[in-house]
Amino acid sequence: MKSLQDTTTLHNGVKMPWVGLGVWRVNEGEEVVQSVKWAIEAGYRSIDTAAVYKNEEGVGKAIKETGVPREELFITTKVWNDDQGYESTLSAFEESLKKLDLDYVDLYLIHWPVKGKYKETWRALEKLYKDGRVKAIGVSNFHIHHLKDLMEDAEIVPMVNQVETHPRLSQKELLQFCKENNIQMEAWSPLMQGELLGDPTLVEIANKYNKTPAQVILRWDLQNGVVVIPKSVKEHRIKENADLFDFELSREDMEKIDGLNLNKRVGPDPDNFNF
């Protein structure tokens, strides 16, 4: 990994950038348009949105305004829980595509493992993939048992599993399972929504490398083989979150960060959510 354009290769050969911009809780309109434009101008090529974020239109507008060729970008969106099921997922996808104003999406994800629905939803994603409407398909917030259950009936193994991951929730078993099954793991809330930035261990390591705690956390993810999509609406932070390629954490420092794990979540447990 030498630059922001560096990619991991998914099991179907599609190349996905290691670093992207997440736009969860970024307001539709000027805020999301500006954030995405700043990111693309800073060299980001991956943008992660979702139907439930209600900002797909702004993401699409920003993409058009930057003038970067579509094929150079990697755009992810997700089907929301209320739309899960076969036909309803196909309809939801068309709606997302229309809002984004794109001809295809690079990665389409099932947002949460809705019991009794995610297998039918996956069948719809497989159809979209076979029809060439999406370049890659995957899931979000799936535990190992969800993945195993899905893969029992699936024709296509998910290419990505996007989950909450950060030093307080390192998800080592899930990461190992994903690696064994050629599923690329991706971290949402990699900075634990800012909660980790004052952690003494991370501050100490950051000072050693002349980096910020945020940069150290994101670098830790990358060295573990995990894709990151940090969110920010501030231009200097968007640039800072991408400045990860001029240093490498030592094995000792990687282990120190591993040692911060408490299996602590800031988001819901995928086994226990009610939305």
Of 53, 108, 118, 129, which one is the catalytic site residue? 53
Q: Which two tokens stand for residue 237?
A: 């932070």
Cβ(68)–Cβ(40) below 8 Å: yes
Let me know if 44 is a catalytic residue.
Answer: no
Q: Which residues are designated catalytic?
A: 53
